[in-house]
Chain A
């Protein structure tokens, strides 16, 4: 009987191992296909592809750009980088043509300036440029520049306007007329902000090959098989010994201790984000991969943001299942994980698609300014409809009422580890890397400077945005509102939150963004630190200083520092993930909300024998 039982257990183990290894194999196959996908395309410009490109181009650029692209017809390109370089070259050629045709050449400009100088009149030792003089040389300019030139030089022909010298007048004329010329050319040229979207559309429209013939096959091969493989790999974890903390071997494994696998994973994630944010025309295949889903939910092909949102959601859902297995002894973690899975799927992913279909502002209703830094860029979009106006009010209420009240009652965890999308990814996909955050005093210092600087930056930037909205003026004290926005979007929104925030998961831990960069976390943290009922309670004098709590704190809090002194932990950065309490082998820590006085929340230094009331640091 017992032999039979042992045999059964053995069979089950073999089954689980097989499942796990097969799952890993499938996942790696999917990942490999995902990467290989980028190299499976040939490019060919045809009439049909040009027809698909046309609607993407600005109306007055269509003819010219398409004409340039036609020159690439009749050849198949099989290498992505050289093809993109060719397309870029064609667009640059188009831009040059536009400059020649609509702009003003150096010679023509000089001719105009010299002629105008002839018309200048000397008055009391200075020069005056009269409307009549200007009229006389007007015909030297191409016809389409004459009206703009009149406007631009209006100030120069005002009564009483004098110029110190010929040179002074010539310089002013050169500047104004050259500007008119370059503006006229720029109107026809492909601008920097248009270029990347054009490249993406051109690359995608001219792509052909096995993937493009069988999009569904690849969708299921990569997304389907990838998710299935990951779940098969995860499933045996539900039966992995008895319920309890599962941290065996974390610092022995390359993937979770910044070994080769970890570094490669980091490199992959960082590359993914750089491509996504700055070079999405190189990953047209990845974006097109989810076209079927986008067509279904939005009735159009996928944008890079749709692709990102979809993969993000799938990652949270799959790795959320892993959390259910790993923390199957802990209701706190199960409920918290279910919460982030729900908020990501419904609020961040599905509801915005529905809003889009209803022609309403595509808003993630749980995203809060200043994490949602574009919120106030979109006032006009919101106020265009009644429901949009409600969204605007809702967003402001969240900032002004939701954050302080909920944080007062529950700590910042109500958002950071229960609702937030960044937090949701960190707590699921990022969970295997939580032990890699730095716990040094130095990094704590850097953290405080950095995160509060970002908060100040976000507030100033939004202040400028509102200034522009209410005054219709773009510049304040020499700061251009639009420039500041784009600097913030690039440095904070893309590089910090994306490339560093997630790309560095396997290198420096899963909360890089939340800890060092998120302005909303800074705001929530200030409330939590100074006015909240939340604390991590230390259970008397039971700490054995083992260091599990500090090691597994994703926010880099040296929890042990407080615990070993019998002190409660009240820190601005704590997101209330609850892992310190879970990994403590002596049950010393518990997350609690309760009456708040300075004494009750922070300083319960315990014990009759202790003289240990702090002092050194």
Chain B
């Protein structure tokens, strides 16, 4: 059987590796982007000089041949689901028995005038990185549009080369559609402390060209013209589904898949950023365009194409990022405000660069989510509490077990517990567990 995977990102590669573990099927991974799998999340570090492209490849080049995973550098122009074949840009037709679509995302463009000028781009692909590098040579100022994860990454990238950045954020605070106000404000401060010209509540109106068709300035919704030679468009991404639009594969925003990650067309599957679950879990989205989704779906689709029907169950939500020097982790459901029936315990360090937020149920007290800034918590411990619907006070007593900061870092759990007691008169919760593996093992019931 020949299994063809379109896309060599984390989703496609996770699928390929797991198919190889489960079977001897012939596997071909097609990518137009690079010869080998690299970590998309590490693109920024190449630009910043932390790593070279080679370092971002998680497997050495001989790995693929050794594991009989065929790699094909090509762009797929058309898909024929009836004839089970692909048309490549070389004109070649490739037959498949099963097809896995892992085509990822594309940056959003909202029809801004000038959005297709030179030196106007998003940051998603390796080619985007190359073009950013090209335009950086004579850059006096870059303007970045869109206050999300890619936008702040781009700001950090330019900042690493001492290139002045103006950062236009439509919302009144950075990424506040996801982050609660306090955390969002913390990141506003971090952005500004790094010398970025952050413009909140400011939208892009138009990008103005120079005589060579390159961006020379932007016009903002506040009527200001900001001179720049580069415009980063980072207002989110959408599934890259152009390939399937002319086929009978059903799409919504993404390629619609059932719980076995199968499309409506037999033997065609979709995973990662481009896939949209027909029936997401309550409170969850059908498209969760993060690294971890691709990584989780890969093994599941592998099992399915290898004849071991395995449903994809969205794991407990978690995500992570880094905003300049502030690390961010979230486990479970943490909204951008206190929702009906919820209580939030929010502790922030005096230096304003660390915080812990624990969301719990207002009635029975079970924990719903953790939001960490500048402090690392242990995923297995948090998920143990979330899955077991542990009571907030039980969690607070054992809170040290969740701490995953490096050794000799100050532990703040006692302050968090004290804050809870102060906010809940009459409660006398005591911290019984400090950081350490022994506590973790006993909590998780692991044999030590």
Residues of A near any B CB (own CB < 8 A): 241-245, 247-253, 329-332, 335, 440-441, 537, 539-542, 544-548, 550-551, 560-561, 564, 578, 581-583, 585-587, 590-595, 597, 599-600, 604, 606-612, 615-617
In terms of DSSP, what is the predominant structure of the interface of chain A? Answer: loop
- Complex CA gap A600/B327 in Å reads 27
Distance from B385 Cβ to chain A, minimum over Cβ atoms (Å): 13
Residue contact B50 to A615, C-beta cutoff 8 Å: no
Interface string of B405-422 (1 = CB under 8 A from A): 111111000000000000
Residue contact B18 to A612, C-beta cutoff 8 Å: yes
The answer, yes or no, to whether B315 is at the interface (CB within 8 Å) is yes
Q: Which residue of A lies closest to B442 (CB)?
A: A595
- Complex CA gap A545/B298 in Å reads 15
| Known contacts A331-B408, A586-B327, A615-B21, A547 near B51 by CB under 8 Å | yes
Can you spell out 25 A-B residue pairs with CB atoms less than 8 angstroms apart?
A: A242-B194, A242-B325, A244-B325, A247-B48, A247-B50, A248-B49, A248-B50, A248-B160, A440-B60, A539-B379, A540-B383, A541-B292, A541-B296, A541-B318, A541-B379, A542-B329, A546-B56, A547-B56, A550-B55, A586-B327, A587-B327, A590-B407, A594-B438, A611-B18, A615-B21
Residue contact A606 to B380, C-beta cutoff 8 Å: yes
Q: Which residue of B lies closest to A542 (CB)?
A: B320
| Known contacts A547-B51, A611-B302, A582 near B41 by CB under 8 Å | no
Q: Which residue of B lies closest to A252 (CB)?
A: B49
The answer, yes or no, to whether B118 is at the interface (CB within 8 Å) is no
Interface string of B335-358 (1 = CB under 8 A from A): 000000000000000000100000
Q: Which residue of B lies closest to A538 (CB)?
A: B379
Q: For A252, what are the chain B residues with a Cβ–Cβ distance below 8 Å?
A: 49
Q: Which residue of A lies closest to B353 (CB)?
A: A242
The answer, yes or no, to whether B135 is at the interface (CB within 8 Å) is no
Residue contact A335 to B299, C-beta cutoff 8 Å: no
- Complex CA gap A560/B60 in Å reads 12
The answer, yes or no, to whether B93 is at the interface (CB within 8 Å) is no
Distance from A406 Cβ to chain B, minimum over Cβ atoms (Å): 16
| Known contacts A247-B49, A551-B50, A593 near B408 by CB under 8 Å | no
- Complex CA gap A542/B383 in Å reads 13
| Known contacts A542-B379, A546-B41, A594-B438, A249 near B193 by CB under 8 Å | no
Interface string of B194-208 (1 = CB under 8 A from A): 100000000000000
| Known contacts A592-B437, A607-B296, A544 near B41 by CB under 8 Å | yes
Q: For A249, what are the chain B residues with a Cβ–Cβ distance below 8 Å?
A: 48-49, 160-161
- Complex CA gap A611/B295 in Å reads 11
Q: For A615, what are the chain B residues with a Cβ–Cβ distance below 8 Å?
A: 21
Residue contact A335 to B408, C-beta cutoff 8 Å: yes
The answer, yes or no, to whether B312 is at the interface (CB within 8 Å) is yes
Q: For A578, what are the chain B residues with a Cβ–Cβ distance below 8 Å?
A: 406-407
The answer, yes or no, to whether B324 is at the interface (CB within 8 Å) is yes
Residue contact B313 to A609, C-beta cutoff 8 Å: yes
The answer, yes or no, to whether B214 is at the interface (CB within 8 Å) is no
Residue contact B406 to A547, C-beta cutoff 8 Å: no
A-B contact count (CB 8 A): 185
- Complex CA gap A539/B52 in Å reads 25
Residue contact A593 to B322, C-beta cutoff 8 Å: no
- Complex CA gap A610/B410 in Å reads 34
Distance from A255 Cβ to chain B, minimum over Cβ atoms (Å): 12
Residue contact B325 to A587, C-beta cutoff 8 Å: no
Q: For A537, what are the chain B residues with a Cβ–Cβ distance below 8 Å?
A: 404, 437
Residue contact B58 to A560, C-beta cutoff 8 Å: yes
Q: For B438, what are the chain A residues with a Cβ–Cβ distance below 8 Å?
A: 594-595
10 residue pairs, one from A and one from B, having the closest CB atoms: A594-B437, A244-B325, A540-B379, A595-B448, A587-B376, A331-B408, A546-B42, A611-B299, A249-B49, A252-B49
Residue contact A600 to B446, C-beta cutoff 8 Å: yes
The answer, yes or no, to whether B45 is at the interface (CB within 8 Å) is yes
What 14 new A-B contacts, CB under 8 Å, besides A537-B404, A537-B437? A248-B49, A251-B52, A330-B409, A331-B407, A539-B379, A541-B295, A560-B58, A585-B327, A586-B327, A591-B406, A592-B407, A609-B312, A611-B18, A611-B303
Q: For A540, what are the chain B residues with a Cβ–Cβ distance below 8 Å?
A: 318, 378-380, 383
| Known contacts A548-B50, A578-B406, A595-B441, A608 near B379 by CB under 8 Å | no
| Known contacts A244-B324, A616-B67, A547 near B376 by CB under 8 Å | no
Interface centre among B160, B161, B404, B405 (most CB of A within 10 A): B404
Q: For B383, what are the chain A residues with a Cβ–Cβ distance below 8 Å?
A: 540
Distance from A567 Cβ to chain B, minimum over Cβ atoms (Å): 13
Residue contact B48 to A539, C-beta cutoff 8 Å: no
Q: For A551, what are the chain B residues with a Cβ–Cβ distance below 8 Å?
A: 50-51, 55
- Complex CA gap A542/B328 in Å reads 12
